[in-house]
Structure 1
């Protein structure tokens, strides 16, 4: 009996304990539920809402680029873009995913491998730079752009066949090409933002860039990228548990980029491009009397500057490329072509990045150096057929023998031996010790005075500095190349090494650091190792025109907001004033008028109204070892500078003279022997000082015409 009571007591105790435990558990659960639903309910409700709402970046419309008359050079157009929602794609089984990717690839005329590569997040294993996705993981990933409307409609109308695939219109760059212009090297191009650029933008809290942005890579697109790109907006969309968009939750509108007003005149640009291309094409049909072969005419450039301000009115380079090739992504084959030497490296701007021996276009600056260092305007020197330095005779190229002549005549007939004597005289007086690196050289100093050997400061990225081949440069070059040439000369000559190369290597190894008399006389006529860009030469001739001011050439004139407010005016920037007395500049100016009237350029200006439009000019034919000569003409009035060069095309006036004349005719409205300002490419015949007019309805009108600049 006692045992039974004890057992019952134990059972009741166990039941009480179990009940107590159950009560404790329910109490804890109740308290937790109360906390979750009442105390912390609002917070969790917000988190749940956030899980069903996603942010989608709305890319801004990039700013326009217009010419000085308000004509659009770069605009925007809408493009059908096919995107894939990776969130929904991830919820499909492997077979379904493979089939969907295949369908998308077929629809956009791509491959499944390419579509898959575009879906990989940059930085993840297997990502390919330039192809991978660098944007938000919640945003549909673009896999094809510029698809046809038929493809877009098929995707939109057959959602059951393309789950998670979107077709929408986006803004991309377009090129209106007024008057058929190209202008690729000035305008530049865009490409997707890189990982490093995006990370840097995040670090700087730069909200204008996001993972799906495109940024400027060249030209003014790069130089003024921050102004042009605008500010992205955001669209918050509600999604279901499968990641499908249910509708918009809220929208923050994007801000369009600002408009860039340039100093380019599209009508002048058209003439310049067509003339450069025509002269190259024509020279390729002509036979070089030196080599007996047709001219290669492999590249060229032309520049038109406002002589008073340094603003760029036109700039062309050949070979060129279609700027639209970058829109929507460039293929590997297209990119390889742009960098191909066989194709002439079309991506290289010969105007700002090409570096060439200036030939006789150099002589006006050598004249300035001579006149400011002991020679006078009355000086006469022999213009013989040759000038001997040591055991070598340096000959005239374009000129014959003219007896004793002065500087003006030497420029007019482009007499090399006249300038050889000046270069040799300075070498004897100041630097006859070829090892003296610090020896004075008035001609080198004058070249630097006119800005050669350094960048002009143009507002275009990637400008080349040119090169002044003085004593210090020669020593530096010798130091860097000595081991190579000494090693080459120490080995037995092979069939692959010409006699010239072997002899050069041996001489360079022994005394390549020495600045000899031959270097000095070559420098005096723009030959040897000195090289310039066409823009540098144009800027220096502008200084001859305007009284000695060196301007930093500028393409941009102003930045204007989308509503027409001028945000920033970009004024011409004075770099320096050349230290040459006005009487010498006037003397050189008069001599260069003689080149156009009676000298080496006269035969290309027969019948041109020089009394109404006074052109000053200098021709140049630069010899290049192993190649045909580079032809130059540099010319100017008091309004403009026009420079054109063609590599491997023969003499300066012979290769470019007709093109130079045609450009001047367009600038001033020359019709035969008559000047008709109303026919000029630019209204008023001079570059406009005012900006285009931005009207309230968004249209852009030309600026009001200023004064006529015919001399």
Structure 2
């Protein structure tokens, strides 16, 4: 055992501890000094360098899915073009805001400097088109029609064109097969705005600044499916723009393809026939005004009666949707939206509202049956109907004596329906309605789907108007002050009407119900509403939601989401009444019917045709032509604003569309080889293993040659009918 005491080790331990403490303090002082040097003395310098290192996202826009007709023919697809774009962010860093660069660019592209500068300015309330309504941080397309030589000039002289790019890019294209524009149905695209980006930020389908979005038509309804997902690669770059590494990469996904129920061949015929009908109407003199019909607008709907699928939908005037691609010019924008344009962007098949005239009588006949009147009883078809000092005339003041409701449809007898509408108004209490007033005529109109959207898969459908008692009250409340200010007892016609409306415009009067019974007065309908109603009579009573989208197919073709027909109700009448209506409409085409002169030689035994003519009067304008028809397979409704009578203006065009679909000549002979669509298309187009959709060869429709051997290919090449 050692005799050395433990306290003998203490000096050495203490010395070592002191040395360690000195070292620790020295290290702390050194680290503190270095931190002071980095964060205080040179802090700003290093902060600037750190800020120069950031992440740059490179976006590769997704290829937008195609919109195809029922057989796979492209109605909207993409093509690769050389697109020259300008970065507004880079241009704004320059002393002259990039004016010199844009001027040089204009010289290369063969454009005026102002034209180029206008394209890259931002849209606002004061800025007219052209301008950029997308994100200011997104490259702005200057042209999508650059030549290879122009693109090479820009890329080889990059020092002269900072902020300018020239790259091959997939650009939307609307090929218009056999000249079927399908304008308002397809719609158009434009860049996403910052506001839209913010709104969609937390949704399952956020926008990128490079996205183009659908603004109308199918492009808007099915935008999410068509748009796909852009590819985004994130790079770490220093302040000089040098790539330091790739941080992450999300590959893009192309958009899905939309197969529609549109048949491009039938669409082309419908567009051409509507245009020709309007053109012909303008050569006819209106007996009332003594001047030619203006025929300023029109629409036609071709629908499968048993499904509600839309085969063709045309609206005039129309436009070329390609005018929006790459940014619309000021000239084209003015043509589409100016005061004298007659608004071709409107789809008058779903947005055009007018009184329906006599095609509404199927609703009135149904209302009469619901009110207790027998369809096959006899009702007096006098030449006129009197209400106090007023007289409501029959068409051309012609009477037919006692007739059934079916015959009232055949002869389009106004006075039968005048009397029924007036009697029901009195039953319900007149201007002092009973608490249990049935209002069968107005209720039946609502039950036929009028006054409401049909549910078609297109945006901005309008509801039309059923002027029932509640509407009268609401309308009076909204307009009373203006009427009272304008009205004058014993003044002009307009002043007298305003005076009367000021006093009692909230009352549903006898004259209102009399006019309503024949589709006149304040009632407004759309072509798609009337097509849906007539299709329901054809199919036994089902009111289908009209649909254009038929299936969404993934880019690889492996996922197919079909869009089945859906309905929003049934007609408010029984099977017997539907059969009676059907017989009455058959007689309209038969001997003595108002449409018989337009269907001579039609093969009624093989393809039964039902029809109803309509001629609606509009204050201050010429009459509106309506023609509603259906076969066992299809329903076609056409209307022409200020076009004259139903059978006179629209009848020949509607017959020509049917003849093209069924392959008929004027004598009723059928050639199935010429028929475009003798029966509704059942399946979907063929999908190849790689996901592409096979499109059949499509040729212009050539009508049968007349007996004298002459004939023309009415749809070969671009017709002169457009502008």
Matches for 1:350-429 after TM superposition, within 5 Å: 350-397=348-395, 400-429=398-427
Matches for 1:164-203 after TM superposition, within 5 Å: 164-203=163-202
Tell me if structure 1 keeps the 8 A contact 2:448–2:572: no
1:25-80: per-residue Cα shift (whole Å, max 9, x none)? 993488559999xxxxxxx99x9799276221110000110011111110001222
1:56 is matched with which residue?
58
Classify the secondary structure of the residue corresponding to 2:80: strand
CA distance in 2, matches of 1:403, 1:100: 82
Classify the secondary structure of the residue corresponding to 2:160: coil
Question: 1:95 Cα shift?
Answer: 6.5
Tell me if structure 2 keeps the 8 A contact 1:61–1:256: yes
Question: 1:424 Cα shift?
Answer: 1.2
Match of 2:523 among 522, 530, 533: 530
CA distance in 2, matches of 1:127, 1:472: 42
Question: 1:677 Cα shift?
Answer: 2.6
1:269 is matched with which residue?
267
Tell me if structure 2 keeps the 8 A contact 1:435–1:513: no
Stretch of structure 1 that moved more, 664-673 or 321-330: 664-673
Match of 2:254 among 231, 253, 256: 256
Change (3 A) 1:205 1:283: closer
Question: 1:429 Cα shift?
Answer: 1.7
Matches for 1:487-636 after TM superposition, within 5 Å: 487-489=485-487, 499-598=492-591, 599-636=593-630
Change (3 A) 1:341 1:122: closer
Matches for 1:51-450 after TM superposition, within 5 Å: 51=53, 54-84=56-86, 94=95, 97-108=98-109, 131=132, 134=135, 136=137, 140-204=139-203, 206-207=205-206, 209-236=207-234, 242-243=240-241, 252-397=250-395, 400-434=398-432, 439-450=437-448
CA distance in 1, matches of 2:380, 2:122: 73
Question: 1:445 Cα shift?
Answer: 1.4
1:647-685: per-residue Cα shift (whole Å, max 9, x none)? 111110000110011011112111232122332212xx2
Classify the secondary structure of the residue corresponding to 1:675: coil
Question: 1:405 Cα shift?
Answer: 1.2
CA distance in 1, matches of 2:620, 2:129: 42
Tell me if structure 2 keeps the 8 A contact 1:84–1:142: yes
Question: 1:84 Cα shift?
Answer: 3.7
Classify the secondary structure of the residue corresponding to 1:693: coil
1:475-527: per-residue Cα shift (whole Å, max 9, x none)? 1111111111111126x99xxxx711111111111221221111111111000
1:681 is matched with which residue?
676
1:640 is matched with which residue?
634
Matches for 1:447-462 after TM superposition, within 5 Å: 447-462=445-460
CA distance in 2, matches of 1:242, 1:115: 29
1:282-319: per-residue Cα shift (whole Å, max 9, x none)? 10111111111000001100001110011111101011
Q: Which ranges of structure 2 fall in alignment gaps of 5 or more residues?
A: 1-22, 40-45, 697-723
Change (3 A) 1:433 1:53: closer
Classify the secondary structure of the residue corresponding to 2:323: helix
Classify the secondary structure of the residue corresponding to 1:671: coil
Tell me if structure 2 keeps the 8 A contact 1:488–1:505: yes
Tell me if structure 1 keeps the 8 A contact 2:134–2:192: no
Classify the secondary structure of the residue corresponding to 1:352: helix
CA distance in 1, matches of 2:397, 2:309: 34
1:342-391: per-residue Cα shift (whole Å, max 9, x none)? 22111111100011100000111211111232111331122111110111
Q: TM-score, normalised by structure 2?
A: 0.85
Stretch of structure 1 that moved more, 418-427 or 61-70: 418-427
Matches for 1:657-676 after TM superposition, within 5 Å: 657-672=651-666, 673-676=668-671
Q: TM-score, normalised by structure 1?
A: 0.86
Change (3 A) 1:365 1:170: same
1:695 is matched with which residue?
688
Tell me if structure 2 keeps the 8 A contact 1:458–1:553: yes
Aligned Cα root-mean-square deviation (Å): 3.2
Question: 1:231 Cα shift?
Answer: 0.2
Change (3 A) 1:95 1:211: closer
Tell me if structure 2 keeps the 8 A contact 1:399–1:415: no
CA distance in 1, matches of 2:693, 2:395: 51
Tell me if structure 1 keeps the 8 A contact 2:302–2:637: yes
How many pairs were matched up?
Answer: 662
Tell me if structure 1 keeps the 8 A contact 2:553–2:560: yes
Classify the secondary structure of the residue corresponding to 2:603: coil
CA distance in 1, matches of 2:152, 2:238: 24
Change (3 A) 1:61 1:316: same
Change (3 A) 1:166 1:250: farther
CA distance in 2, matches of 1:571, 1:419: 38
Tell me if structure 2 keeps the 8 A contact 1:80–1:152: yes
Question: 1:325 Cα shift?
Answer: 1.1
1:27 is matched with which residue?
30
Question: 1:532 Cα shift?
Answer: 0.3
Change (3 A) 1:264 1:437: farther
CA distance in 2, matches of 1:666, 1:620: 24
Change (3 A) 1:141 1:374: closer
Change (3 A) 1:141 1:72: closer
CA distance in 2, matches of 1:369, 1:206: 47
Q: Which ranges of structure 1 fall in alignment gaps of 5 or more residues?
A: 1-19, 37-43, 704-711
